[in-house]
Structure 1
Amino acid sequence: MRDPKWPWVARQQWENLLFLHWPVQVEELRPYVPSPFNIETYNGRAWISIVPFRASWNGFRGMPGKLPFSDFLEINVRTYVNFYGEPGVYFLSLDTDSRLAAAGARSAFSLPYLKAEITLEETGDGLFYESRRTEKAARDAYFSVYIKHIASQEIDMEKGSLTEWLTERYCLWTLKGDKILKGPISHSPWRLKKAEAEWSMNGMTSFQSGRDISDKPIIQYCKEKMVGFHPFEKYGIADVSFNELWHPGSE
């Protein structure tokens, strides 16, 4: 992993973050990942993760507090790629209840943010996320997950393990037009716990053979984590075509 060119400029805290991980076939995923990015595999399988969380304490470097009215909920669908050997994540979609976050990130970096109605309920028995996409130009999508049990012991982040491979990623890769962009982030190693959850979805991963994934996922939970965002870096020009899942009119 190459060090970022510039220091972090913005921060964000992730709270009640949940990973749901599934193995998938590379050939089903390939049409939806731009060709400059190599889809990474672990033991011969590509992976997709759905990640719901609350984003809070948004602010810029040097700010003593946070930006007002900046907290939001997000549910992203991501896979794992590299560009010239540098590993990162590629976002297939990012649903959020913040219209400002959706419009800003989509305009500035061409990240596939979509407006959605998302709720998070915290009870004595567990946590419940529910999301329904409301972006008019995008396909309908629904996701819900009830986190009913979280283990007390943290997962051992063994070097080379699947858990480390899935979560210790320090940049995203994306395209803005034909420009290849890297979005570096910095954070401490994950402190994850195994979790049990009940979930349902419709339209979140239906590009997989025309249906949503129904297999049992690997589920992991993190109570909170502070991250730093570094300025995006340009890595060249790409000549590509691919199917953008969130694009108007996509089926």
Structure 2
Amino acid sequence: MVAYEAEQRVRVPALRAGWLRQTFVHWAFPPDAVQALLPEELVVDEYEGSAWVGLTPFLMADVRPPAVPALVPGLPTFAETNLRTYVRHRDGTDGLWFLSIEVACPLMLVARVVGAPYNPGTLSVSLNGDVVSYAGSRRVGEASYRLVVRPGDPITPTERDVWLISRWRAYTRRLGMLWETPVEHEPWPLAYAAVDVLEETLTSAAGLPAPTAEPLVHFSEGVRHVRLGASRPRVTAPGPSGE
């Protein structure tokens, strides 16, 4: 089941970081439109009969190996933006599937080795008074976005909010195998957010139809104690018949 707090401990992280100034923009889509973009091992995770796709820009802060403390000066901080959807492995385990990941730091491209769909580009996150602005354009191709939001009052997450935002593993596919990356961090502190500007072509670049309804939007100041585990092949145990 989807959980508000991490479902597992990442005792030996491969990477530590903070995810800051994150906005979650979610649209409902027909499940068939999203299922067509998934590998055969995964099925769309539906909420009230819809698949959901999230555009999530943020700052990746204090990125470091596990033994390095966050107070060390000079740790990299850069913008990243994910386009993601919500899935279940055919054994029932829930997680994320990234349709695309835009990143301003070329070092993150190493994650392509396990199939993470990183695209290098020019990205920015800026704060001006009570307004947070995000922008990005892919280095290759025409995919881009611009988002301006005004965070509001803190909220207590609803069941749907937890379902959308609190996921603790990501799936990728590479070399004919499904890979799983676990994550652990404190619960997201959420707030309402009003949208001043929303322009994006990431959904169409991923092969989705244009969103037909207004998005659901949340803002978070972020989580500072992110522990990403090592990616590992996801092997499904054979059933009693050996299938």
Alignment TM-score > 0.5, same fold: yes
Counterpart secondary structure, 2:13:
coil
How far apart in 1 are the matches of 2:130 and 2:9? Answer: 41
Query: Which residue of 76, 79, 99 corresponds with 1:73?
Result: 79
Are the counterparts in 2 of residues 171 and 185 from structure 1 also a CA contact under 8 Å?
Answer: yes
Q: For residue 56 of structure 2, what is the aligned residue in structure 1?
A: 51
Say whether residues 1:145 and 2:129 are aligned partners. no
Change (3 A) 1:15 1:6: closer
Amino acid at match of 2:228: F
Deviations 1:96-127 (A, max 9, x none): 111221x2111x22100001111222111411
CA RMSD of aligned residues (A): 1.9
Counterpart secondary structure, 1:205:
helix
How far apart in 2 are the matches of 1:80 and 1:187? Answer: 19
How far apart in 2 are the matches of 1:120 and 1:157? Answer: 25
Cα offset, 1:6, TM superposition: 5.1
Are the counterparts in 2 of residues 96 and 118 from structure 1 also a CA contact under 8 Å?
Answer: yes
Report 1:1-251 matches (<5 A). Answer: 3=8, 7-65=12-70, 66=72, 68=74, 70-83=76-89, 84-101=91-108, 103-106=109-112, 108-135=113-140, 139-147=141-149, 149-152=150-153, 154-158=154-158, 161-206=159-204, 207-209=207-209, 212-213=210-211, 215-226=213-224, 227-236=226-235
TM, length-normalised to structure 2: 0.86
Deviations 1:125-174 (A, max 9, x none): 41111111112xxx421100111x2222x22224xx11010111100011
How far apart in 2 are the matches of 1:110 and 1:67? Answer: 31
Counterpart secondary structure, 1:34:
coil
Amino acid at match of 2:55: I
Are the counterparts in 1 of residues 191 and 219 from structure 2 also a CA contact under 8 Å?
Answer: yes
Deviations 1:59-110 (A, max 9, x none): 1222124584622101110000011111110000001111221x2111x221
Q: For residue 248 of structure 1, what is the aligned residue in structure 2?
A: none
Amino acid at match of 1:150: P
TM, length-normalised to structure 1: 0.84
Amino acid at match of 2:143: A
Number of residue pairs the alignment of both structures matches: 226
Change (3 A) 1:130 1:45: same
Counterpart secondary structure, 1:43:
coil
Q: For residue 241 of structure 1, what is the aligned residue in structure 2?
A: none
How far apart in 2 are the matches of 1:67 and 1:27? Answer: 47
Question: What residue ranges of structure 2 are gaps of 5+ in the alignment?
Answer: 2-6, 237-243
Could you tell me the percent identity over the aligned residues?
Answer: 23
Change (3 A) 1:229 1:121: same
